[in-house]
Chain A
Amino acid sequence: MLLRHTTDKIVERHALTVNPAKTCQPIGAMYASLGIRGCIPHSHGSQGCYAYHRSTLTRHYKEPVIAATSSFTEGSSVFGGQANLIQAIDNLFTIYSPEVIAVHTTCLSETIGDDIPQIVKKAEAEGKIPKGKYIIHTNTPSYVGSHVTGFSNMTKSMVDYLSQGNGHKEKCINIIPGFVEPSDMEEIKRITSELGIKSIVFPDTSNVLNGPMTGKYKMFPKGGVTVEDLKKTGCSIGTLALGRLASGAAARALDTKCKVPCELLDLPIGLEATDTFIDTLRQVAGVHVPDSINIERGQLLDIICDMHQYFYGKKVGLVGDPDQLISLSKFLISIDMWPVHIVTGTPGKKFEKRIREITKDSPYKVNVKQSGDMFLFHQWIKNEPVDLLIGNTYVKYIARDEDIPFVRFGFPILDRVGHSFFPTVGYRGGMRLLEKILDALLDRKDRDSSETEFELVM
Chain B
Amino acid sequence: MEEILSQDNSCLAPEELKQEILHKYPVKIARKRAKQIIINKVNDNDVPEIQANVRTIPGIISQRGCCYAGCKGVVLGPTRDIINLTHGPIGCGFYSWLTRRNQTMPKNEKDHNFMTYCFSTDMQEEQIIFGGEKKLKAAIQEAYDIFKPKAIAIFSTCPVGLIGDDVHSVAREMKAKLGINIFAFSCEGYKGVSQSAGHHIANNGIFTHVIGKDDTIREGDYKINLLGEYNIGGDAFEIERLFEKCGITLISTFSGNSSIDQFANAHTADLNLIMCHRSINYVGDMMEKKYGIPWLKINFIGAEATAKSLRKIAQYYGDEKLIDKVESVITEEMPFVEKAINEIKPKTSGKRAMLFVGGSRAHHYQELFKELGMGTISAGYEFAHRDDYEGRKVLPNIVVDADSRNIEELNILPDETRYRPRKNEETIEELKVHGVPIKDYEGMMPTMDENSMIIDDISQYETEKLIEFYKPDIFCAGIKEKYIVQKFGIPMKQLHSYDYGGPYAGFKGAVNFYKEIDRMVNSKVWKYLKAPWQIKTELVAKYVWE
Contacts and interface: CB of A to CB of B under 8 A. Distances in A.
Contacts of B93: 17, 20
B61 A49 contact: no
Interface centre among A22, A74, A76, A106 (most CB of B within 10 A): A74
Contacts of A75: 402
Interface in A1-40: 1-5, 11, 13-20, 22-27
Interface stretch (A59-67, A179-187, A228-236, A380-388): A59-67
Interface residues of B, number: 93
Contacts of B42: none
Interface in A137-187: 141-144, 146
A16 B143 contact: yes
B403 A90 contact: no
Nearest to B126: A143
Interface of A: 1-5, 11, 13-20, 22-27, 42, 45-49, 51-56, 58-59, 62-77, 84-85, 87-92, 94-96, 106-108, 111-112, 141-144, 146, 211, 213-219, 345, 375, 394, 397
Given A15-B142, A17-B122, A143-B123, 17 more contacts: A4-B113, A20-B90, A23-B90, A49-B66, A51-B64, A52-B96, A53-B95, A55-B480, A69-B56, A73-B191, A77-B190, A87-B59, A96-B460, A96-B461, A111-B158, A142-B88, A213-B529
Contacts of A77: 158, 161-162, 188, 190
Interface in B374-407: 402-403, 406
Nearest to A371: B122
B118 interface: yes
A27 B69 CA distance: 16
Contact of A94 (B24, B141, B487): B24
Contacts of B19: none
Contacts of A63: 483
B482 A58 contact: yes
Nearest to B485: A217
A23 B95 contact: yes
Nearest to B529: A215
Nearest to A214: B529
Nearest to B123: A143
6 contacts: A5-B117, A48-B65, A49-B189, A67-B61, A68-B60, A146-B90
B145 A11 contact: yes
Given A94-B25, A107-B157, A74 B483 contact: no
Given A5-B114, A89-B59, A108-B190, A15 B135 contact: yes
Nearest to A144: B125
B163 interface: yes
Interface string B109-137: 11011101111111111011000000111
Contact of B480 (A5, A58, A95): A58
B489 interface: yes
A112 B402 CA distance: 21
B464 interface: yes
Contact of A216 (B26, B58, B62, B487): B487
B158 A45 contact: yes
Interface string B33-73: 00000000000000000000001111111111111110000
Tell me which of B56, B89, B93, B143 has the highest count of chain A C-beta atoms within 10 A of its own C-beta: B89
Nearest to A81: B58
Contacts of A42: 59
A394 to B, nearest CB: 8
A447 B113 CA distance: 30
A215 B158 contact: no
Nearest to B487: A217
B480 A24 contact: no
B55 A71 contact: yes
A69 B127 CA distance: 26
B91 A49 contact: yes
A64 B482 CA distance: 7
Contacts of B412: none
B499 to A, nearest CB: 11
A49 B460 CA distance: 17
A143 B484 contact: no
B190 A213 contact: no
Contacts of A11: 142, 145-146
A51 B122 contact: no
A137 to B, nearest CB: 15
Contacts of A112: 162
Contact of B119 (A3, A17, A72, A219): A17
B336 interface: no
A214 B99 contact: no
Contact of A58 (B58, B189, B483): B483
B58 A84 contact: yes
A435 B66 CA distance: 42
A217 B66 contact: no
Interface in B486-511: 486-489
| A-B complex: 6 closest residue pairs judged by Cβ atoms | A48-B66, A24-B91, A88-B59, A91-B59, A15-B138, A215-B489
Contacts of B98: 394
B479 A59 contact: yes
Contacts of A66: 61, 460, 484
Given A11-B145, A91-B29, A96-B61, A216 B66 contact: no
Contacts of B482: 58
B326 to A, nearest CB: 37
B139 interface: yes
B234 interface: no
